[in-house]
A and B are shown apart, each in its own frame.
Chain A
Amino acid sequence: MSSHAHTGGSTVHAPMAEPSGFIRKYIFSVDHKVIGIQYFLLALTAVVIGIVLSLLMRFHLVWPNATLPFVSGGQMSQEQYLALVTMHGTIMVFFVLTTAPQGGFGNYFLPIQIGAPDMAFPRLNMLSFWVTFLAFVCIIAAFVVPGGAPISGWTGYTPLSGLGEISGPGEGWGQTLWIVSISLFCLASLLGALNFIATTIDLRAPGMSLMRMPLTVWGWFVTAILGLLAFGVLLAGGILLLLDRSAGTSFFIPAGLVVNDQLQPHSGGSPLLWQHLFWFFGHPEVYIAILPGMGVASHVLSTFARKPVYGYRAMAYAICAIGFLGFMVWGHHMFVSGMSPYSGFAFSVLTMSIGVPSAIKTFNWLGTLWGGKIQFKTPMLFALGFVSLFVSGGLSGLFLAQPAVDNMLHATYYVVAHFHLVMGVAAIFGIFAATYFWFPKMFGRMMNEPLGKIHFWFTFVGAYCIFMPMHFIGIAGGIRRYADASAVGFLAHLQPVHQFMTIAAFITGAAQLFFLFNFFYSLKFGPKASKNPWNATTLEWDTDSPPPMDNFGGHYPSVYRGPYEFSVPGAGDDFIPQWLEPSQVARAK
């Protein structure tokens, strides 16, 4: 610590005392690092549940008549299958893909990377986490209430989701809990977004101009802006939906609807109104899931290629452009809803225009790799995997973006394949890259490299084996959310493809044990990590592993240069950290 005391621009303070007592330190902590880990562990729990649900689905698709021990009646009903679909999607999208990259890593590393001692509003931060936790409890409770989990999908389409028990098991209590859970989640995410934005704007260290922020920070920052503007809309939608269900209003339920032979007492609502509200949130949400991953990919690629990010400014602007355009394309989820062809055309053109910033990012990732001295460490492998999956999944989006083509492909497995590659697996790869990359900083120990590589190859090949064939099922007309396609004439012959995907899914799922083992084993037995094990340049590597309570042990860093000064010609080392004063930079002999 004292070695920092003399560095010119830094300010020195007495290090902040840690709160004593288990509860203040680990449970109701206001320390952004503890909260980040709490979010991360929440997501880890959620992802295990989500994977188990998906394996059950894959099993059912291939052996629909199998007798299962834990299912009442022995065989899984179609409603139970739909409940699995709904809960898998909801848990994965909200509690994994939104929670881990932003709540987890964003919380932990955004303040450190900009040289701040904490978030701007630490107690608000704690509140965000605990409300998210409450939301998670609600969604899990949906499994055990009478009627079980809801069946209306992660998109909660009305009128199915708006009627209550009459429209199916799980549509009573289960659906109510779903709405409550999502609304709480929205609230928590709004508070979190507020904190992220204020922190990035006002708490940057001296010298940390916007254009010196690591691209990870850009990712979290823009994600927070998207969250701020999108979650409120879903919250509003959720409130209206709840009123439709419990107060007898008719926002989303049309008149004359007969369900289960009963006329529903509603008048003149619009199911499409829900779709608009949902997708106005839903499309930004997919970028909320992926933008942090993009930041991590840029960060990790640069570090392990020992090269500056190619076109840093373009990368930052591309993130902003994607975020901005992301608010104008929600209609592409509704091409078949009977919208005017003119709107369809507008949404189509706007959607495809997102391909431009996406392509900028992709080419710049390749440019970053070009001619680099690449070190194939595990985080690097996952970052490379991220790029691969993002491209593979993004390309199918361009087909879906054309209304004429989408008429054929909407609600088929083609869409499922698209979003699993580009959002599901790519974002998960971003999370894995981040985990392997920052584990040493967060827990002070290194993860095991060989195990990490085995984990990568199984997961990478496995993901392609699961989701590539899925495109073909979609093109052949395989409809998503069907509980049992084996009885559908024109799909029956595709069952072997389903079998292949199911086997791949089980192997890939099992391979995650490599990760879990590696994670928990390394927590305890991994070799001790130094301050800067990857020879990286950003501020989190300027402090101990794990960092002290106030992040920098009583001194506040100053920033002297951009975030990715690797292999600078004439420099003695192949990296120049952001915190190094110019006079301290070693020169080549």
Chain B
Amino acid sequence: MPSTIVTEEIELIHADKGPGGGNFAGDGGNGGDDGDTGNSSGGTRVPQRAYITGMIIALAGILMFFMAFVSAYIVRKDMPNSAWIPLQVPRILWLNTFVLIASSFTLVRAHGRFTAKDEEGFRHWWATSTILGVLFVVGQIIAWHQLAAQGIFLATNPSSSFFYVFTGAHGVHLLGGILALLYVQFRATRKVARGTAIEVVSLYWHFMDGLWFFLFLLLYLGR
């Protein structure tokens, strides 16, 4: 390095702190999800928005998971020699779909009540959504029973295989959503601010709702 070059360049090093991730240390004081390391005062601090980010990322992963099934469905259905017999979807699915969409609306209501600081109303609408969610799952199980009664099982035909895979995989995810709804209803979240928890769970629920609508259209129209 030639020694004739002097100090000026050093000033070029930007000293501004720029748009970093921001100061997670100052954010509310809600610890990360590791609150039980035995020290809450100085524990890891995670900004609340990280939970939202985390949920959006998780949904991207879940979307890929379901899209793998969906693309397999589309490919498998139209293959020559696919032995595909279109499946008449049980009619109760219409009702189930309606119930699930309704649950999203009641959930939006609940969220609105929460922002309006109406705890009573929030709990009411939140519980309504949970019950609608449970009804949906029950409806799906009834649909399975109806198919089974017709002698249509998982391995009967590729179309029924996909039907059970779609509804099963979605059902498992929805059950997870119901557990989350119940958790928010009955337990105080320790590290996640209540508002954040509500937002995160709502995100998940609406996504599962939309996903089901898509799968239903696929099963119904794309037979």
Residues of A within 8 A of B (CB): 9, 11, 13-17, 19-20, 30, 114, 116-118, 120-124, 190, 193-195, 197-199, 201-209, 212, 228-233, 235-237, 239-240, 243, 247-251, 254-255, 267-270, 273, 276-277, 280, 550, 554, 556, 558-561, 565, 567-571, 576, 581-582, 585, 587-588
A243 close to B21 (CB less than 8 A): no
B24 close to A202 (CB less than 8 A): yes
Extra pairs beyond A9-B17, A255-B81, A567-B1 (15, CB < 8 Å): A16-B37, A203-B21, A206-B20, A208-B20, A233-B67, A236-B65, A239-B165, A250-B161, A255-B83, A267-B158, A273-B76, A559-B20, A570-B7, A570-B8, A582-B15
The B1-44 residues at the A interface (CB cut-off 8 A) are 1, 3, 5-11, 13-26, 32-34, 37-39, 41-44
A528 to chain B, nearest CB (A): 28
With known contacts A11-B26, A17-B39, A117-B44, A269–B76 Cβ distance under 8 A: yes
User: What CA separation (Å) do A585 and B44 show in the bound complex?
Assistant: 30
A229 close to B20 (CB less than 8 A): no
B178 to chain A, nearest CB (A): 20
Residue numbers in B under 8 Å from A240 (CB-CB): 69, 72, 165
Main secondary structure of the interface of A (DSSP, over half): loop
User: What CA separation (Å) do A582 and B32 show in the bound complex?
Assistant: 32
Q: Does B147 contact A (CB under 8 A)?
A: no
User: What CA separation (Å) do A206 and B10 show in the bound complex?
Assistant: 21
Residue numbers in B under 8 Å from A198 (CB-CB): 50, 53-54, 57
Q: Does B68 contact A (CB under 8 A)?
A: yes
User: What CA separation (Å) do A558 and B19 show in the bound complex?
Assistant: 12
Q: Does B82 contact A (CB under 8 A)?
A: yes
Residue numbers in A under 8 Å from B19 (CB-CB): 209
B33 close to A232 (CB less than 8 A): no
B4 to chain A, nearest CB (A): 9
Q: Does B62 contact A (CB under 8 A)?
A: yes
User: What CA separation (Å) do A117 and B31 show in the bound complex?
Assistant: 11
Residues of B within 8 A of A (CB): 1, 3, 5-11, 13-26, 32-34, 37-39, 41-47, 49-50, 53-54, 57-58, 60-62, 64-69, 72, 75-76, 79, 81-84, 154-155, 158, 161, 165, 169
With known contacts A16-B42, A206-B23, A248–B34 Cβ distance under 8 A: no
User: What CA separation (Å) do A429 and B47 show in the bound complex?
Assistant: 37
Nearest neighbor of A571 in chain B, beta-carbon distance:
B10
With known contacts A118-B44, A122-B34, A243-B161, A270–B20 Cβ distance under 8 A: no
With known contacts A276-B75, A556-B25, A17–B61 Cβ distance under 8 A: no
User: What CA separation (Å) do A270 and B72 show in the bound complex?
Assistant: 10
Which of A202, A255, A550 has the most B CB atoms < 10 Å from its CB? A202
User: What CA separation (Å) do A30 and B44 show in the bound complex?
Assistant: 11
Residue numbers in A under 8 Å from B7 (CB-CB): 570, 587-588
User: What CA separation (Å) do A5 and B219 show in the bound complex?
Assistant: 62
A254 to chain B, nearest CB (A): 8
A34 to chain B, nearest CB (A): 12
User: What CA separation (Å) do A223 and B75 show in the bound complex?
Assistant: 28
A17, A202, A588: the one contacting B50 at CB < 8 Å is A202
User: What CA separation (Å) do A288 and B79 show in the bound complex?
Assistant: 32
A550 close to B44 (CB less than 8 A): yes
Residue numbers in A under 8 Å from B61 (CB-CB): 190, 193-194, 228-229, 231-232
B153 to chain A, nearest CB (A): 9
User: What CA separation (Å) do A17 and B25 show in the bound complex?
Assistant: 17
Nearest neighbor of A231 in chain B, beta-carbon distance:
B61
Closest 4 CB pairs of A and B: A204-B21, A268-B83, A232-B65, A236-B68
B18, B33, B42, B161: the one contacting A122 at CB < 8 Å is B33
A123 close to B34 (CB less than 8 A): yes
User: What CA separation (Å) do A240 and B81 show in the bound complex?
Assistant: 19
A588 close to B3 (CB less than 8 A): yes
B155 close to A209 (CB less than 8 A): no
Residue numbers in A under 8 Å from B72 (CB-CB): 236-237, 240, 251, 273, 277
Nearest neighbor of B31 in chain A, beta-carbon distance:
A122
Residue numbers in A under 8 Å from B165 (CB-CB): 239-240, 243
A11 close to B32 (CB less than 8 A): no
User: What CA separation (Å) do A13 and B57 show in the bound complex?
Assistant: 30
User: What CA separation (Å) do A571 and B10 show in the bound complex?
Assistant: 7
Residue numbers in A under 8 Å from B67 (CB-CB): 233
B34 close to A202 (CB less than 8 A): no
B79, B82, B161: the one contacting A249 at CB < 8 Å is B161
Residue numbers in B under 8 Å from A232 (CB-CB): 61-62, 64-65, 68
Residue numbers in B under 8 Å from A11 (CB-CB): 23, 25-26
B64 close to A229 (CB less than 8 A): yes
Residue numbers in B under 8 Å from A212 (CB-CB): 18, 20
B20 close to A209 (CB less than 8 A): yes
Residue numbers in B under 8 Å from A123 (CB-CB): 33-34
Which of B18, B22, B49 has the most A CB atoms < 10 Å from its CB? B18
B1, B53, B62: the one contacting A202 at CB < 8 Å is B53
User: What CA separation (Å) do A231 and B65 show in the bound complex?
Assistant: 8
A203 close to B50 (CB less than 8 A): yes
B8, B23, B64: the one contacting A233 at CB < 8 Å is B64
Residue numbers in A under 8 Å from B47 (CB-CB): 202-203
B17 close to A560 (CB less than 8 A): yes
With known contacts A203-B24, A233-B65, A30–B34 Cβ distance under 8 A: yes
A118 close to B42 (CB less than 8 A): no
Nearest neighbor of B155 in chain A, beta-carbon distance:
A248
User: What CA separation (Å) do A561 and B194 show in the bound complex?
Assistant: 37
User: What CA separation (Å) do A251 and B71 show in the bound complex?
Assistant: 12
A163 to chain B, nearest CB (A): 14
Contacts A/B (CB < 8 Å), 23 sampled: A13-B25, A14-B41, A17-B38, A17-B39, A120-B32, A120-B46, A122-B37, A197-B53, A205-B21, A206-B23, A229-B64, A232-B68, A236-B66, A243-B154, A243-B165, A250-B155, A255-B81, A255-B83, A270-B75, A270-B79, A559-B20, A560-B14, A568-B10
Residue numbers in A under 8 Å from B158 (CB-CB): 249-251, 267-269
A561 close to B33 (CB less than 8 A): no
User: What CA separation (Å) do A341 and B1 show in the bound complex?
Assistant: 56
Residue numbers in A under 8 Å from B8 (CB-CB): 570
Residue numbers in B under 8 Å from A13 (CB-CB): 25, 42
Residue numbers in B under 8 Å from A249 (CB-CB): 154-155, 158, 161
A384 to chain B, nearest CB (A): 23
User: What CA separation (Å) do A180 and B19 show in the bound complex?
Assistant: 43
User: What CA separation (Å) do A277 and B73 show in the bound complex?
Assistant: 12
Nearest neighbor of B45 in chain A, beta-carbon distance:
A117
User: What CA separation (Å) do A540 and B15 show in the bound complex?
Assistant: 20
Residue numbers in B under 8 Å from A588 (CB-CB): 3, 6-7
User: What CA separation (Å) do A230 and B53 show in the bound complex?
Assistant: 19
User: What CA separation (Å) do A568 and B17 show in the bound complex?
Assistant: 20
User: What CA separation (Å) do A475 and B208 show in the bound complex?
Assistant: 51
Residue numbers in A under 8 Å from B155 (CB-CB): 247-250
Nearest neighbor of B68 in chain A, beta-carbon distance:
A236
User: What CA separation (Å) do A208 and B24 show in the bound complex?
Assistant: 12
B21 close to A570 (CB less than 8 A): no
Residue numbers in B under 8 Å from A269 (CB-CB): 76, 158
A190, A195, A559, A568: the one contacting B9 at CB < 8 Å is A568
User: What CA separation (Å) do A194 and B82 show in the bound complex?
Assistant: 37
